[in-house]
Amino acid sequence: MSQLLDLLTSLTSCLPCLPSSPTLKINSRSLKILRLLGEGGFSYVYLVQSLSSPHELYALKKIRCPFGAESVSLAMKEVEAYKIFGSTPGIIHSVDYSIATERGGGEESKTVYVLLPYYKRGNLQDMINANLVNHSRFPEKKLMGLFLGVCRALRGMHVYEGSTEGEGMVVPGQGKRSGNGVNRGADQDDEQEQGRSLLTEDERVAQARATGGKRRSYAHRDIKPGNIMISDSGSDPILMDLGSVAESPLPITSRSLAIATQDTAAEHSTMPYRAPELFDVKTGTVIDTKVDIWSMGCTLYACLVGKSPFEMRSDETGGSLSICVLSGDWRFPDEGPGAKKKKNKGKGTGPGPAEGGAAQAEEEEGVISEPIREVVRRCLRVEPSERPDIDELIEMVEQVLEVLPEDEV
Ligand SMILES: Nc1ncnc2c1ncn2[C@@H]1O[C@H](COP(=O)(O)OP(=O)(O)OP(=O)(O)O)[C@@H](O)[C@H]1O
């Protein structure tokens, strides 16, 4: 039945609101499904409308849990992450959630529904796609302003200072947490009793040893343009898709933990944006927030060039994407042997004074400013300790914004 609804909704996704649109209830809220917004590995995201206040639109993420308790607990980790960052600026929060149980053919399966604010402007990937279609590019200052917004939102995870909503909610391995006004069903109460954490038991023990049990930070682990929504005003980025969020640092204390971490990354972190240390997780290393800094470098490059640096390079060379990532093999389109050299805007610390002439303007068209290139280079160091941390990255981006000339209107 559930699959039939997905099929029906995806078939009608291009149609405006049908009179017979399916409806569903999330706790006390009755919602009408308008259309499919997108789909991922195990989830569908629908645009829904409140039946009681038709001007209220939401995005409803439906996470199917086909593999029993394990997949339910993964979905609940995502729900938990929405709560943890519920009041962190620049990070999506959930409005409500529920767990539905379906019984059929003697089997029971669960589906987790998460109600999210709807962002009508879409995400950064949509903007990249529009640029590719229109042969246009982001004005650099506007782009770096958006990028700074993403850095600041990410800082809310990397330097987690707690949230009034989230505090007392995550009780690794034990205890209850307080409600947040959400009308939870019996299933949710069961989950509540068990207590939730973003860590598996092995990870929790390893981390407690490494941090002396102190509160830590979080890594998003799937930063990419498709996971950065644009606020309705058009000026603020919103970090979303918290299904991959993991507590950090994570010391890899055993071979089994290394394999589990690598498998989780393979499932949840998008390959062209995934840091090298997650491709080949080694025992004795520590996986931390630097994985996101790598992905930020890939994201900035994709905004400038149209795709991830490693997708670009593996397309160019015909080589494997993972080998390009592991060896840090990437370049800007106008760099390297055989590349058509364009005059670079702003050598060294910043773009130089504007030089006149139509030929000059034409030559400079499509050229990426040197200070922006440098941000990408710093993020894409194969050795995690050589990458800036989030505060250093914010500082770099603020300096770039200071030296960039105003965008032409
Ligand atoms: N709040 C929202 N507002 C508008 N559109 C949304 C919203 N949330 C998700 N979408 C759309 O649905 C798509 C899939 O969402 P999301 O990334 O959360 O799903 P996912 O299953 O985790 O995807 P992935 O496999 O790419 O990680 C997004 O790319 C976006 O187009």
For 305-339, write each residue's pLDDT tens digit: 999 999 999 999 999 999 999 999 999 999 977 67
Predicted confidence (pLDDT) per residue in 237-250, tens digit: 999 999 999 999 99
**Mean pLDDT of all residues in 58-68:** 91
Q: How far is the CA of 240 from the centre of ligand 1 (A)?
A: 8
Q: Does pLDDT of 167 surpass 80?
A: no
Q: How far is the CA of 110 from the centre of ligand 1 (A)?
A: 20
Write out the DSSP string of 4-69.
HHHHHHHHTTTS---TT--EEEETTEEEEEEEEEEE-SSEEEEEEEESSSTT-EEEEEEEEETTHH
Q: Tell which phi-psi region holds residue 193, choosing left (phi > 0), alpha (psi between -120 and 50) or beta.
A: alpha
- The reported pLDDT for the residue numbered 256 is 97
Omega before residue 54 within 30° of 0, cis: no
- The reported pLDDT for the residue numbered 160 is 86
Q: How far is the CA of 244 from the centre of ligand 1 (A)?
A: 13
8 CB near ligand 1 (under 6 Å): no
- The reported pLDDT for the residue numbered 189 is 39
Where is average pLDDT lowest: 43-47, 59-63, 369-373, 405-409? Answer: 405-409
75 CB near ligand 1 (under 6 Å): no
For the chain, what percent of residues have pLDDT higher than 90?
66
Where is average pLDDT lowest: 69-78, 227-236, 349-358? Answer: 349-358
- Closest C-alpha residue for ligand 1 atom 31: 38
Predicted confidence band at 408 (pLDDT cuts at 50, 70, 90)?
A: confident
Euclidean distance between the first and final Cα of the chain, in Å?
A: 52
For the chain, what percent of residues have pLDDT higher than 70?
75
Q: Does pLDDT of 372 surpass 70?
A: yes
Predicted confidence band at 109 (pLDDT cuts at 50, 70, 90)?
A: confident
382 CB near ligand 1 (under 6 Å): no
226 CB near ligand 1 (under 6 Å): yes
- Closest C-alpha residue for ligand 1 atom 19: 40
Predicted confidence (pLDDT) per residue in 115-140, tens digit: 999 999 999 999 999 999 999 999 99
- Closest C-alpha residue for ligand 1 atom 7: 59
**Residue whose CB lies within 8 A of the most ligand 1 atoms, among 120, 241, 264, 295, for a mutation test:** 241
45 CB near ligand 1 (under 6 Å): yes
pTM metric for this prediction: 0.82
- The reported pLDDT for the residue numbered 181 is 30
Q: Does pLDDT of 169 surpass 50?
A: no
Q: Does pLDDT of 259 surpass 80?
A: yes
- The reported pLDDT for the residue numbered 103 is 80
271 CB near ligand 1 (under 6 Å): no
Task: Quote the mean pLDDT of the chain.
Answer: 82
169 CB near ligand 1 (under 6 Å): no
Predicted confidence (pLDDT) per residue in 182-202, tens digit: 333 334 434 333 333 566 666
Contact 6, 40 (CB under 8 A): no
Phi, psi of 346 (to 5 degrees): 60, 90
- Closest C-alpha residue for ligand 1 atom 29: 226
Q: Does pLDDT of 57 surpass 60?
A: yes
Q: Does pLDDT of 273 surpass 90?
A: yes
Q: How far apart are CA 401 and CA 114, in angstroms?
A: 37
- Closest C-alpha residue for ligand 1 atom 16: 241
**Mean pLDDT of all residues in 13-19:** 42
Q: Does pLDDT of 212 surpass 80?
A: no
Q: Is 342 annotated as a binding residue?
A: no
- Closest C-alpha residue for ligand 1 atom 2: 118
- The reported pLDDT for the residue numbered 336 is 77
Predicted confidence band at 161 (pLDDT cuts at 50, 70, 90)?
A: confident
Q: Does pLDDT of 274 surpass 70?
A: yes
Predicted confidence band at 209 (pLDDT cuts at 50, 70, 90)?
A: low
Q: How far is the CA of 116 from the centre of ligand 1 (A)?
A: 10
